[in-house]
Amino acid sequence: MKVTFLGTNGWYDTQTGNTCSILIQSKEYDIILDAGNGLAKADHYITQEKPAYLFISHFHIDHIVGLHTLVKFKFSRGLVICGQVGTAGVLNTFVAEPFTVPFKELPFPVRFVELDEGYHDIPFPVESLPLVHPVPCFGYRLSLDGKVITYCTDTGYCDNAVLLGRNSDLLITECGLKSGQESPGWPHLNPESAIRIAKEAHTKRLALTHFGAEVYTSSDKRAGVKKQFEKECPDLIVATDDLTVEI
């Protein structure tokens, strides 16, 4: 199974990266986590012949702005968009005239699956739980090809992130803040809090993405995170756009 980081910035695009989107290629499915501007690159990696699923964590613009590029895709078996209750209503307002091509006019069918807290089979097992952010935001735990991948973006440290990440083969978290930085009024993770979640959850590997665009203004600053914490967190992945890892 391959995981490709299509976009690794939070908030806005810079020369360092596009806004957040991640592609998981399993044997039977192509799965995309969030729809920042990185989404537009997904067709560089997939044939679009497998069933495709898109998970939306929440509705901040940097996680849905890439939806306007869906018209370029040709998902031969359609696209299923999964998210919290209310996702269909919000996105049908956003992906619509006068802003962009509406879902109903895309060159493939789109179906919505709205998830509450808990376990789901859609048809692969998914667990969804709320995270800590100024707006409702879901984290996801996906079981595919005998592996578990957990995705927790836009959150402060919370028990649900640890619960979702338990014994994961790969835990993907955001890293919106620099080392030692806190943001109680607008919760995000710094490297230390992300590593804390990974350790408490006993995950096999941690990947950091969704780097604050105004904080990590160069690739060197991201590389500094790996250098600073690689002893504390062996095999730490500090994601860059178009990085692919095998799980």
On the question of a cis peptide bond just before residue 98, with omega within 30 degrees of 0, the verdict is yes
Q: At residue 197, what are phi and psi to the nearest 5 degrees? A: -60, -45
Q: At residue 123, what are phi and psi to the nearest 5 degrees? A: -100, -10
- pTM, to two decimals: 0.98
The SS3 of residue 175 is strand
For domain 2-246, is the CATH number 3.40.50.800? no
The predicted pLDDT at position 84 comes to: 98
The predicted pLDDT at position 171 comes to: 98
The predicted pLDDT at position 235 comes to: 94
Average pLDDT (171-190) is: 96
Identify the H or E element spanning 144: strand 138-144
The predicted pLDDT at position 32 comes to: 99
The predicted pLDDT at position 13 comes to: 98
Q: Report the chain's mean pLDDT, rounded to a whole number.
A: 98
The predicted pLDDT at position 113 comes to: 98
The predicted pLDDT at position 63 comes to: 98
DSSP string covering 60-102 = -GGGTGGGGGGGG---TT-EEEEEETTHHHHHHHHSSTTTS--
Model pLDDT for residues 103-136, shown as the tens digit of each residue:
999 999 999 999 999 999 999 999 999 999 999 9
Residue with tokens 């904080």: 215
Model pLDDT for residues 1-60, shown as the tens digit of each residue:
999 999 999 999 999 999 999 999 999 999 999 999 999 999 999 999 999 999 999 999
Average pLDDT (65-84) is: 98
The predicted pLDDT at position 121 comes to: 96
Rounded to an integer, what distance in angstroms lies between the CA atom of residue 236 and that of residue 151? 15
